[in-house]
Amino acid sequence: MTNKNIFVLSIIGFCTLFIYSCNSTKNSGNPMAKLTTEKIEEDEISRKVKQLLSKMTLEEKIGQMNQYTGFFDPTGPTPKDGNNKTKYDHVASGQVGSMLNVRGVKEVRAMQKIAVEETRLGIPLVFAFDVIHGFKTISPIPLAEAASWDLEAIKQSARTAAIEASAAGLNWTFAPMVDVGRDARWGRVMEGAGEDPYLGSKVAVARVKGFQGDDLSANNTISACAKHFAGYGFSESGKDYNTVDVGLSTLYNTILPPFKACSDAGVSTFMNSFNELNGIPATGDAFLQREILKGEWGFEGFVISDWGSISEMIAHGHAADGKHASELAANAGSDMDMESHLYVNHLKELVESGKVDMKKIDDATGRILKVKFELGLFDDPYRYCNEAREKEEIYNKKHADAVLDIAKKSIVLLKNDNNTLPLSKNGKSIALIGPLADDKTSPLGNWRLAGEDETAVSVLEGLEKYSNNKLTHSKGVKFVEDKTFFHAHVNYNKDDKTGIEEAVKVAKNADVVIMVLGEHGMQSGEGRSRAHIDLPGVQQELLEAVYEANKNIVLVLMNGRPLALPWAAENVPAIVEAWHLGSQSGHAIAEVLYGDYNPSGKLPMSFPKTVGQVPIYYNYKNTGRPGPKKEVFWQHYTDVTNEPQYAFGHGLSYTTFKYSNLLITKNGGNNVSVSVNVTNSGKMDGEEVVQLYIRDQVASVTRPVKELKGFEKINLKAGESKTVKFTLSDQELGFYNNQRKFIVEPGMFDVMVGGNSVDLLIDGFEL
Ligand code: NOJ
């Protein structure tokens, strides 16, 4: 370093201290001052991390890099390893940095006590849990929440989950899952925000902020984890864990943006993924973890492997054995081993033999300790262990109200011919039919480990509140549920159609039929890929039989993925997409059906007409042979159109919205303003999601026909108008080229604005 540089740095240092001291005496609201304070606190943490690292043995460092699951009583007998040691013994000997699935203040405290009191350095454990959509009070599945396009509500939902989880002693969630999902066969689309990287990024950041709050050390905020890094949502043929092979353009422009957004938003941790990406398992991929994440993006938190994904590199055919897998993973930047039990067994030898550099161990351990300091665990390892909070803050009325709010906002009205909905509240006879109508478990969806079976408000219960109508319930068909929690398949009864006759009778005598059909809560999620995405079992037969008796049907769908329902789309007059909406499902659905809440959700994923169209997404490329054309040789199917059944961004309201006056103003440089007038032209107050798409017409790397680049959810009273404004600048107008450079290219851009990705006002500008 030159003398000049040292001089400049000293001046900066002096100014920093000066600003800091002014800040501490005046306590000013100056954001610059706050930043400086944070910087100094960060430096303080780095100093503490360094100090602690200097005291640690290699074994202790490797211990920090190890996570065990604990579906066992930490104070009772636990399974033994080959050396007759239990996981309990491992914690006591400092071989464990984190526990997964230990929850509840009593359990967490007992486990923490071992780490703090029995290990040489007393380094506290960090306690992880899959808090995916709520803890005990269950909110809608993440795909449903994304359909609300309401970032504040999504943030609040994550806050509620964090408050409950932290009250149960936890301080780390394995959420949000930010994998872009274009393939409805993949069961894990339920955990993400759908097919779009822009919406996905906004939702991801809202969720990170909700979990982590402004102060990670507060006892009601928890570390978030952006997962699964990367490419997991692009598994071939939608089969979970399958191979992923994508080019740089898709990786950089579609898959990575939500991850980058999380990193920029200060997410504490990342999780890598089970899949291989272009021939290298993500867990052992230095390009992803070291070059992109910790290099290009400057991510300072730590990366955990997925469950056993270090050892799975052997099955992938990438690692010869456990030792080799540990070497690959540690060198690639996987900082913590979730349940492969390999780092604890091999890393020491690998460091001693020079296969893994000690600096990498220090880096990984330092990152883990940093997060523990940020969580405040060194100040008080029991700061999340408060019995009074546990009693008060889990599953209370306030949280029930909060999840009801987002549940209503997540519902998407797909179809509403002849204003079938909302239902009249008086003097009607209603037939409620379907295997999911009185189900109190399915609406909770998958990934709700602390949510208890039979606790959701069913549709039946929700509708019963509207007691001026006569309600008759008939299941029609039943499904058989395997009660073991991790059952792989829910067996919809394929043969027993005996209930259909009674359902038809009930339907015949009704003014309106509400049918609740779809997927059991455990038919989507991890390991639940489906090759057929229609109504499982004999539900389609039930639907058609009831339709013969009474055509005035409102179909309420419960599902964790887009379904292909061409018959229903054509024949049934009203269709409501109600996903798996969590604890308050039935109330949310009833309020929408009766018009006490005017639906405002919009699809975050395209709904295909048939599974053969999958993957189907709105931001496709034009190709050299776009259509439609009369002759044969253009990109299309010969037996189904290219359009989805319901497009990305689609969702109706009980009112109507008119768009006018699309205005584009160039402000100089790469800065463009767009405004549009939106009028509530119907008779009911309502909310609309105003969506802005662009198309970069000619580019050095081809761009999609449409890309979402802005949206705003607005509230309009009947007859009211509003002007909605957007700004486009480098971030929205640019893209990554195949040299991984973010560029903005001059030329013509289309600007499209509307209430879905199809019906759009269009204009353009030249950059
Ligand atoms: C495997 C899943 O892929 C991951 O998302 C989850 O967080 C871990 N299991 C831990 O349960």
Distance 440 CA to ligand 1 centre (A): 25
* 3-state secondary structure (DSSP) of residue 32: helix
Nearest residue (CA) to ligand 1, atom 1: 307
Confidence tier at 489 by pLDDT (50, 70, 90)? low
Structure tokens at 341: 């039990």
d(CA 281, CA 272): 9
Mean per-residue pLDDT for 725-730?
Answer: 98
Mutate to test the pocket of ligand 1, among 307, 485, 528 (most ligand atoms within 8 A of CB): 307
Helix-helix angle 500-508:539-549, to 10 degrees: 30
Amino acid at 234: F
Structure tokens at 175: 């959420």
pTM for the whole structure: 0.94
Helix-helix angle 397-410:585-593, to 10 degrees: 50
Residue with more model confidence, 664 or 481? 664
Confidence tier at 621 by pLDDT (50, 70, 90)? very high
d(CA 22, CA 629): 70
Give the Cβ contact number of residue 386 at 10 Å: 18
Confidence tier at 2 by pLDDT (50, 70, 90)? very low
Note whether 696 and 749 are within 8 A (CB). yes
Q: Output the pLDDT for position 165.
A: 98
Distance 766 CA to ligand 1 centre (A): 46
- Of 615, 603, 616, which Cα lies nearest the Cα of 643? 616
pLDDT in tens, 157-207: 999 999 999 999 999 999 999 999 999 999 999 999 999 999 999 999 999
Mutate to test the pocket of ligand 1, among 283, 526, 529 (most ligand atoms within 8 A of CB): 526
Note whether 449 and 485 are within 8 A (CB). no
d(CA 272, CA 283): 6
Distance 147 CA to ligand 1 centre (A): 23
pLDDT in tens, 42-92: 799 999 999 999 999 999 999 999 999 986 554 455 667 777 788 888 999
CA distances from 741 to 28, 252, 706 (A): 39, 9, 21
Give yes or no for residue 306 CB within 6 A of ligand 1: yes
Instruction: Tell how strand 748-754 and strand 686-696 pair up.
Output: antiparallel
d(CA 109, CA 383): 10
Structure tokens at 377: 């665990």
Length of the chain: 767
Main-chain dihedrals φ then ψ at residue 314, nearest 5 degrees: -70, -50
Nearest-atom number in ligand 1 for the CA of 174 is 7
Amino acid at 162: A
- Of 180, 185, 164, which Cα lies nearest the Cα of 232? 180
Residue 443 half-sphere exposure toward CB, CA atoms < 13 A: 36
Mutate to test the pocket of ligand 1, among 240, 306, 312 (most ligand atoms within 8 A of CB): 306
Which helix (H) or strand (E) element contains residue 105? helix 105-113
d(CA 543, CA 739): 53
Residue 558 half-sphere exposure toward CB, CA atoms < 13 A: 34
Note whether 580 and 554 are within 8 A (CB). no
pLDDT in tens, 503-543: 999 999 999 999 999 999 999 999 999 999 999 999 999 99
* 3-state secondary structure (DSSP) of residue 567: helix
Percent of the chain with pLDDT over 90: 89
Q: Which residues pair with 126 in a beta bridge?
A: 98
Residue 628 half-sphere exposure toward CB, CA atoms < 13 A: 7
Structure tokens at 417: 């011919």
HEC-encoded secondary structure of 227-258? EEECCHHHCHHHCCCCCECCCHHHHHHHHCHH
Structure tokens at 167: 């009250």
Give yes or no for residue 447 CB within 6 A of ligand 1: no
Distance 568 CA to ligand 1 centre (A): 35
Give yes or no for residue 241 CB within 6 A of ligand 1: no
Distance between start and end Cα atoms, the chain:
42
pLDDT in tens, 220-230: 999 999 999 99
Mutate to test the pocket of ligand 1, among 130, 446, 524 (most ligand atoms within 8 A of CB): 130
Helix-helix angle 343-352:358-374, to 10 degrees: 140
Give yes or no for residue 129 CB within 6 A of ligand 1: no
Amino acid at 516: V
C-alpha 183: how far from its chain's center?
Answer: 15
Confidence tier at 462 by pLDDT (50, 70, 90)? very high
- Of 369, 371, 361, 364, which Cα lies nearest the Cα of 58? 361
* 3-state secondary structure (DSSP) of residue 81: coil
Q: Output the pLDDT for position 295.
A: 98
Give yes or no for residue 188 CB within 6 A of ligand 1: no
Note whether 748 and 698 are within 8 A (CB). yes
Distance 174 CA to ligand 1 centre (A): 7
d(CA 433, CA 518): 12
Q: Output the pLDDT for position 252.
A: 98
Residue at token pair 């001693």:
352
Residues known to be catalytic: 306
Nearest residue (CA) to ligand 1, atom 8: 307
Give yes or no for residue 240 CB within 6 A of ligand 1: no
Residue at token pair 């209603």:
430
- Of 34, 135, 713, which Cα lies nearest the Cα of 450? 135
Give yes or no for residue 339 CB within 6 A of ligand 1: no
- Of 536, 329, 348, 410, which Cα lies nearest the Cα of 139? 410
> At a CB cut-off of 8 Å and minimum separation 6, what does 87 contact?
68, 70, 72, 78, 79, 81, 96
Q: Output the pLDDT for position 75.
A: 47
Give yes or no for residue 307 CB within 6 A of ligand 1: yes
Confidence tier at 95 by pLDDT (50, 70, 90)? very high
Question: Mean pLDDT score of the chain, rounded to an integer?
Answer: 93
Q: Output the pLDDT for position 88.
A: 83
d(CA 312, CA 282): 11
Nearest-atom number in ligand 1 for the CA of 232 is 3
Structure tokens at 442: 């399915």
Give yes or no for residue 270 CB within 6 A of ligand 1: no
User: Sign of torsion, CA 187 188 190 194?
Assistant: negative
Main-chain dihedrals φ then ψ at residue 513, nearest 5 degrees: -110, 125
Which residues in 564-574 are b (16+ Cβ under 10 Å) and which e?
bbeebbeebbb
Give yes or no for residue 526 CB within 6 A of ligand 1: yes
Note whether 600 and 578 are within 8 A (CB). no
Structure tokens at 500: 């259909």
Nearest residue (CA) to ligand 1, atom 9: 307
Residue 202 is classified by DSSP as H
Give yes or no for residue 312 CB within 6 A of ligand 1: no
Give yes or no for residue 227 CB within 6 A of ligand 1: yes
Note whether 463 and 512 are within 8 A (CB). no
Mutate to test the pocket of ligand 1, among 241, 271, 336, 485 (most ligand atoms within 8 A of CB): 271
* 3-state secondary structure (DSSP) of residue 369: helix
Nearest-atom number in ligand 1 for the CA of 273 is 3
Question: Is 70 exceeded by the pLDDT of residue 648?
Answer: yes
Give yes or no for residue 174 CB within 6 A of ligand 1: yes
- Of 342, 307, 344, which Cα lies nearest the Cα of 328? 342
HEC-encoded secondary structure of 335-357? CEEECCCCHHHHHHHHHHCCCCC
pLDDT in tens, 6-51: 333 333 333 333 333 333 333 333 444 444 566 667 799 999 999 9
Distance 155 CA to ligand 1 centre (A): 22
Question: Is 50 exceeded by the pLDDT of residue 649?
Answer: yes
Tell me whether the omega of the peptide bond preceding residue 228 falls within 30 degrees of 0, making it cis: yes
d(CA 657, CA 759): 12
pLDDT in tens, 566-584: 999 999 999 999 999 999 9
Note whether 216 and 375 are within 8 A (CB). yes
Confidence tier at 480 by pLDDT (50, 70, 90)? confident
Note whether 82 and 352 are within 8 A (CB). no
